[in-house]
Amino acid sequence: MQHLKVFQFFALLISSTFLCSPSFGESIPLLQDIQIQTEEKAMSSGEQRNEEPASLQQTLEQIYMQNTDLDAARAGLRATDEDVSQANAEWRPSLSVVGSQEQTQRYPIGPGKRAHNSNTNYVAALNQNIYAGGKTTATIGQAESNVLAGRAGLFNQEQQTLLAGVNAHTLILANEAKVNYLEQSKQFYKKNLEHAEARFEVGEGSRTDVEASRAKYEEAIATLSAAIGDLESSRATYTQQVGNEPGNLSPAHLIIELPKNLERAIEIAKTHSPVILQARYALEAALYSVDIQIAGLLPTVDVRGTVGNSVQHGTPSGNATPLRPKNTDLGFLATVNVPLYSKGIPNSQIRQAYQIVAQQKVKLVGAQRQAVADVTSAWDNLIAARDSVKGFMAQVKAQELAVEGAVEEVNVGTKSIIDVLFLQEDLIAAQINLADAQQKLIVTSYQVFVAMGRLTARDLRLNVKYYDPDAYYNEYKNAWIQFWQGKDLRYVKDGDPQ
């Protein structure tokens, strides 16, 4: 029976999560009969698909390497890295060569010979900034801060991508459990309809019992069809997110342990939350922006050196000797630019930069509060999900016993078939709620890691090539002329958790 994977899966989660955490107390007991059914289903499902079930860790490894949103975010960060290279380029000289070739012909109207001239000129110029009021240094600092903020953004994208993998994996398990529950319910209603028809034929039942049973059976068919559609939809979502078709999935569990209490989770979030890191580096970039604007009021010093050569060829009119003069020119120019008054625009830009700093300071405080709120909310949701699973498991067990008892009472005539139909409806509703609650329990557990800033490939120790944000940055931050990428600078070696 297919709900097997979900019960094993959530049993593993509950034991690994709550037994290791004193604040959660004792683990949730499994229903013995359901546990046996799920084991049988696991064997049959594995035989049918004839493939090794994919674990949650394997799902996360695949989504880390193949998710398009995450890969696009990595490319975006590499584009941001180039801002540092461009800022460093302001320290370097610029070199240019300008050449010209001029040809002229002169035709006399009166007596005389035709004359022609050819002028060849070229000038090589080198320009170098000596002092820019500190703007170059500030621009480099701002670019580096923006890179760090971009890394925090990529860090957040990685967490959201891995969480999407958790959700996709567990949603399939939950939907498979629902399909199994509804298939069992359909078979129950079918047998109940056959029983009602048999009783009616011998005069022991009523037409009402038959038609009520038929209505429930048809409803069960329609509900099962909708659940199968939901299952296929969740499989399509998995393929879109992960990059592979799901195949057979094994029960999920926590790959790493949760912190022992909420206070510890908040402490971790204050130093690792990508929301806080992004806000902190955005503030640093804003502070550098003030220095950039102040540089607009300071003098600048530039030097320029030139080497020129000109050659003139030609035959003048008349009988003069042909021209072949050649000149070589050397030049040096030092320029000091002292701004005195620029309409008040630089002053306004400085005031504006200070206000942006004030804005970023407030945003940092807000990010710190948001991180604490996110952890607290995720932790509370986790506790609520755990209690929901425990309550729904108890409800399912009680409802199963109620249906069994009602069936026996129908046989002795103390309850009607309609009573059984209502009790079975309550049972399937409880089973569906249980599947949803179990899936939510896993997802909310990983949401705690997201809020703490701990849901990364390295934290989970996934067996993948970890993305290395320093590789591209270090390769090109001081590049002078290279405009091609000669090797793959995205990843480091396999399995090197730090």
How is 126-188 classified by DSSP, letter by letter?
EEEEEE-TTHHHHHHHHHHHHHHHHHHHHHHHHHHHHHHHHHHHHHHHHHHHHHHHHHHHHHH
Q: Please, is 393 exposed, middle or buried when counting C-beta atoms within 10 Å of its C-beta (0-12, 13-18, 19+)? A: buried
Report pLDDT for 491. Answer: 60
Residue 183 · residue 217 · CB < 8 Å = no
Alpha-carbon span 82 to 476, nearest angstrom: 7
Q: Provide CB contacts within 8 A for 134, sequence distance 6+.
A: 291, 294, 295, 298
pTM for this predicted structure? 0.81
HSE-CB at 388 with a 13 A cutoff on CA atoms is 21
Nearest to 185 by CA among 2, 392, 428, 419: 428
Residue 177 · residue 436 · CB < 8 Å = no
Give the DSSP letter of residue 495.
S
Beta-sheet strand order (sheet of 94-106):
94-106, 115-131, 300-315, 326-337
Give the DSSP letter of residue 359.
H
Q: What's the token pair of residue 400?
A: 């199963």
Residue 453 · residue 422 · CB < 8 Å = no
CA distances in angstroms from 197 to 181, 191, 214, listed in the order given: 24, 10, 10
Alpha-carbon span 298 to 287, nearest angstrom: 18
Report pLDDT for 15. Answer: 42
Residue 480 · residue 92 · CB < 8 Å = yes
Residue 285 · residue 145 · CB < 8 Å = yes
Q: What's the token pair of residue 75?
A: 């490319």
At residue 473, the 3 state secondary structure works out as helix
Q: Please, is 119 exposed, middle or buried when counting C-beta atoms within 10 Å of its C-beta (0-12, 13-18, 19+)? A: middle
Residue 314 · residue 115 · CB < 8 Å = yes
Nearest to 418 by CA among 122, 150, 199: 199
Residue 383 · residue 389 · CB < 8 Å = no
HSE-CB at 28 with a 13 A cutoff on CA atoms is 27
At residue 414, the 3 state secondary structure works out as coil
Q: What's the token pair of residue 294?
A: 């102040």
Paired with 119 in beta bridges are 102, 312
Which domains, and CATH codes, for the chain?
51-86+137-283+353-494 (1.20.1600.10), 93-131+299-337 (2.20.200)
Rg, Å, the chain Cα set: 38
Report pLDDT for 269. Answer: 96
Report pLDDT for 53. Answer: 87
Alpha-carbon span 445 to 385, nearest angstrom: 9
Alpha-carbon span 94 to 391, nearest angstrom: 73
Report pLDDT for 264. Answer: 95
**Digits of tens for pLDDT over the chain (498 positions)?**
434 444 444 444 444 443 333 333 333 332 223 232 333 443 344 444 456 889 999 999 999 999 999 999 999 999 999 999 999 999 999 999 998 888 887 777 767 677 777 888 889 999 999 999 999 999 999 999 999 999 999 999 999 999 999 999 999 999 999 999 999 999 998 998 888 888 888 887 788 888 998 999 999 999 999 999 999 999 999 999 999 999 899 998 888 899 999 999 999 999 999 999 999 999 999 999 999 999 999 999 999 999 988 887 776 554 445 556 678 888 999 999 999 998 999 999 999 999 999 999 999 999 999 999 999 999 999 999 999 999 999 999 999 999 999 888 877 877 888 888 889 999 999 999 999 999 999 999 999 999 999 999 999 999 999 999 998 899 889 988 877 766 666 666 444 443
Report pLDDT for 497. Answer: 42
Q: How many CB atoms lie within 10 A of CB 381?
A: 17
Q: 491: phi > 0 → left, psi -120 to 50 → alpha, else beta; which?
A: beta
Alpha-carbon span 400 to 377, nearest angstrom: 34
Phi, psi angles (nearest 5°) of residue 488? -75, 115
Report pLDDT for 255. Answer: 86
Alpha-carbon span 487 to 485, nearest angstrom: 6
Q: What is the dihedral of CA 334, 339, 342, 348, to 10 degrees?
A: 120
